[in-house]
Amino acid sequence: MKISGNIVDVVNRKIFTGIIHVEDGKIKDISEEKFESDKYIIPGFIDSHVHIESSMLLPYEFGRIAATHGTVSCICDPHEIANVMGLKGVEFMIENSRQSPIKIYFGAPSCVPATGFETAGGKIDINDIRYLFKRYGLKCLSEVMNVPGVIYNDPDVVEKINLAKSLGRKIDGHAPRLTGESLKKYVDAGIGTDHECTDINEAIEKIKLGMKVQIRNGSAAKDFDELFELIDMYPENCMFCTDDLHPDNLVNGHINLIVKEAVSRGADLFNVLQIACVNPVRHYGLCTGTLQVGDNADFLIVSDLKNFEVLRTYVNGKVVAKNGVADCKHQEFDKINNFAKYMVSESEFKVYSEIPKDVNVIVINDGSLVTEREKVKLRPQNGNLSADVENDILKIAVVNRYKKSKPSVGFVKNFGIKRGAVASSVAHDSHNIVAVGCDDFSLCRVVNIVMENEGGVAVVDGGEQLILPLPFGGIMSGEEGYRVSNQYRLLDEKVKKMGSPLMSPFMTLSFLALLVIPSLKISDKGLFDSEDFKFISVLE
C-alpha cells in the first residue's frame, strides 16, 4: 500500500512531499518526491493518561470514537474499575480493549483502594500487580496517589514501586501542589510523571527535578491555559492528556482539540506534535509508530496543519476511521457488576440541630478538581439543618453502594441548582453514590433511582426524573457511544436548566468524593480534610 501527501516528519522536524510504503502493518519505506498535494500525513495522537471509565463507555466503544479524532493510542489507568471490582474489573478492561480499533495500553493500578477513608469494592495488592505485569505486559505502575506513603516510606507503597523498577516499568505520579523537599523525595523514589500540575511554577519545578508533565485538558480539570507556555519552553518534557473525559466531550474531540488550540495560539508546530505524538511513545516504550521507516503504520491524514480535520486514521496500516466515522460497528458485551441494591429513607439525609450552627462547607472551583473550605452559619428548620438554596448552600451526600449503610451528609457551595437533586455512581475513586440536592426528599429519591438501576447518573426535578443507566460496574454503559453521549448531554442540559452554572456539573460532582485532591471532600464515611488527611466534623 502506498500513501502520498505532505509528510510531516516530527522526529526530524521537516515537511516534504513524498510516498509512504506500507507492508504488513509497518512502514517499509518513505520516499521523498516532488508533487502537489493538499493533504498532510502526521503521526497519530496519543492520550498519555486517561481513565476510560470516565467516558462511561467500554474500552472498545471509547476506541471507536477516539479513532475518529485521530487518536491511535492511549495509556489507561484502570483504577476506577479496580476500585469497584478489583482484579476482575481490570482484566475485563484489558480483554475488552483488545477488540478496540486503537492501541490501548494499561498501567497497573497502584492505590486500590485509593485511601482507607472510604469504602471500595475492590483491592489490588502487590501480588495482583505482579500478576498483571507478568500476564499482560502492562507499561507502567499507574498514578501513585499515596504521596505521604512515598515520602515516609510506607512498606506497601515502596514494595509496589520497587517491583515496577525491577521490571523496568515507568511509574506515574499524582502529586497536586507538591513542592520543595517533599517533591524531591517523591521524584527520587522513581516517579516520573505528573498530570496534576495546575500552576506553571509547580510544573517547572517538577520538570527540573526530572519529571514529565502531562498537560491536562479534560472535562472538569482544564490546566492547558496555565501550562501552555511549557510547550515551547520544555517540549521534550511534556505530554498531553485528558485524564477524565465525559462522553459528550469525547464525541466532539480528543487530543486533536488540544493540538489545534496549541497551534492556533502560536506554539511551534513541531513542538506540539512532538508532545502529542512522539513523547509518550519514547517515555512508555509504546509499540506505536511515529512515522519513521520500520515503525508500525500508525498515522493520520489531515486536511491542514491549522484545523487538523482528521480525514483518515490508520492503525497498523489499516483504516480504522474515515471522515469522522469509525470503520467498526458497535458490539454488545456481557455485563459485570457488584452493586448492593437497597433503598434509603428521607430521614437519613437530615442533619439534626435545634439551634443555628456553623458548618464546614465544600466550596467548588469550576474547572478545577481542587476545592476550598468555608464556614457558613445555617439555621435549623424543624430540628434539621437544611440546604440554603438562596445562598447556594446545598446538601451533599455519599451513599455506600457496596453494603447497606447510613449516608454521609454534608454541605456544598457553588453547585448552583435551585431545585431538585442530582446523583451519580461515578464518584472517584471508590464510586459510591454521590448526590447534591436542594431538599432531603429529592436527595433520597435521586439516590434510590440510581440504586434501582444498579448504577447511573440521574436527575430529579419535581415530578420529572431522568437517568443514564451504567450497568457495567455501575460506572460504564454498554450502549453505543453516540447514544450515551446524547443521553448524557440531555442530563447535563437539565442540570444547567435547574440553575447550575458549572461547565461540567456531573464531572464536578464525581470529584467531590475524591479524597486525594485538596482541600475539602466527602466520602461515605464522612467529611474529609484532604490537606491534613483526616475526617472533620460537618458541624463546628
| % of the chain beyond a pLDDT of 70 | 100
Count of C-beta atoms within a 10 Å radius of residue 261: 16
Segment 221-233 mean pLDDT: 95
Q: What is the pLDDT of residue 509?
A: 96
Name the band, by pLDDT with cuts 50, 70 and 90, for residue 516.
Answer: confident
Q: What percent of the chain has pLDDT over 90?
A: 95
What are the grid coordinates assigned to 411, written together? 454541605
pLDDT score, position 220: 74
Strand order in the sheet with 318-322: 26-32, 14-23, 2-9, 40-43, 299-302, 310-315, 318-322, 325-326
- Who wins on pLDDT, 376 or 369? 376
Task: Give the helix/strand (H/E) hosting 153.
Answer: none
d(CA 186, CA 208): 14
Mean pLDDT across the chain = 96
**Cβ proximity of 383 and 397 under 8 Å:** no
CA distance 355 to 358: 10
Residue matched to cell numbers 498535494 = 37
Residue 338, Cβ density class (10 Å: 0-12 exposed, 13-18 middle, ≥19 buried):
middle
The secondary element (H helix, E strand) that includes residue 135 is helix 126-136
The neighbour count for residue 149, using CB atoms within 10 Å, is 19
Q: In this structure, what C-alpha cell is assigned to residue 325?
A: 466515522
CA distance 458 to 424: 6
Name residues whose C-beta falls within 8 Å of residue 211's C-beta, 6 or more positions apart in sequence: 173, 187, 191, 192, 193, 194, 237
Catalogue all structural domains in the chain, each as residue range(s) with its CATH number. 45-287 (3.20.20.140), 346-535 (no CATH)
Whether omega before 113 lies within 30 degrees of 0, making that bond cis, reads yes
222 falls in which pLDDT band (50, 70, 90)? confident
Q: H helices within 437-502, ranges in order?
A: 440-452, 481-497
C-alpha cell at 252: 466532539
**Among the listed residues 120, 90, 122, the one whose alpha carbon sits nearest the alpha carbon of residue 106:** 90
Residue 59's pLDDT band (cuts 50, 70, 90): very high
Q: Are 506 and 492 in contact (CB under 8 A)?
A: yes
Mean pLDDT of 371-400: 96
* 112-135 tens-digit pLDDT: 998 889 999 999 999 999 999 999
Higher pLDDT, 280 or 540: 280
Rounded-to-10 torsion of CA 283, 288, 293, 294: 100
H/E element, 313: strand 310-315
Strands 464-469, 456-461: pairing kind: antiparallel
Average pLDDT estimate for 402-416: 97
Eight-state DSSP code of residue 237: G
Split at pLDDT 50, 70, 90, the class of 221 is confident
Give residue 32's pLDDT band: very low, low, confident or very high (50, 70, 90): very high
Nearest to 172, CA basis, from 137, 199, 139, 205? 139
List pLDDT tens digits, range 264-283.
999 999 999 999 999 999 99
Nearest in space to 469 (alpha carbons), one of 482, 488, 444, 489: 488
Q: What is the mean pLDDT of residues 194-206?
A: 96
> What pLDDT digit, counting tens, does each position of 422-476 carry?
999 999 989 999 999 999 999 999 999 999 999 999 999 999 999 999 999 999 9
**pLDDT at residue 367, as a whole number:** 82
Confidence of residue 19 (pLDDT cuts 50, 70, 90): very high
| φ, ψ at 139 (rounded to 5°) | -85, -20
Written as nine digits, the cell of 306 is 491549522
The one-letter amino acid code at 95 reads E
311-320 pLDDT tens trace? 999 999 999 9
pLDDT given at position 368: 86
* Bridging pattern class, strands 299-302 and 310-315: antiparallel
How do residues 203-219 score in pLDDT, each as one tens digit?
Answer: 999 999 999 999 999 87
Q: Tell me the mean pLDDT in the region 408-414.
A: 98
Dist CA 373 CA 164 (whole Å):
37
Residue 540 pLDDT level (bands cut at 50, 70, 90): confident
268, exposed or middle or buried, with CB in 10 Å at 0-12, 13-18, 19+? middle
Residue 363: count other Cβ atoms within 10 Å of its Cβ.
16
What DSSP state is assigned to residue 229?
T
The pairing of strands 140-144 and 103-108 is parallel
Contacts of 466 (CB under 8 A, 6+ apart): 458, 459, 490, 491, 494
Q: Does a cis peptide bond (omega within 30 degrees of 0) precede residue 128?
A: no
The answer to whether residues 109 and 81 touch, using CB atoms and an 8 Å cutoff, is no
Q: How crowded is residue 99: how many other Cβ atoms within 10 Å of its Cβ?
A: 13
Whether the CB-CB separation of 11 and 275 falls below 8 Å is answered with no
Is the Cα torsion angle 99, 294, 9, 231 positive or negative in sign? Answer: positive
Q: What is the pLDDT of residue 280?
A: 98
Q: For position 5, what pLDDT does the model report?
A: 97
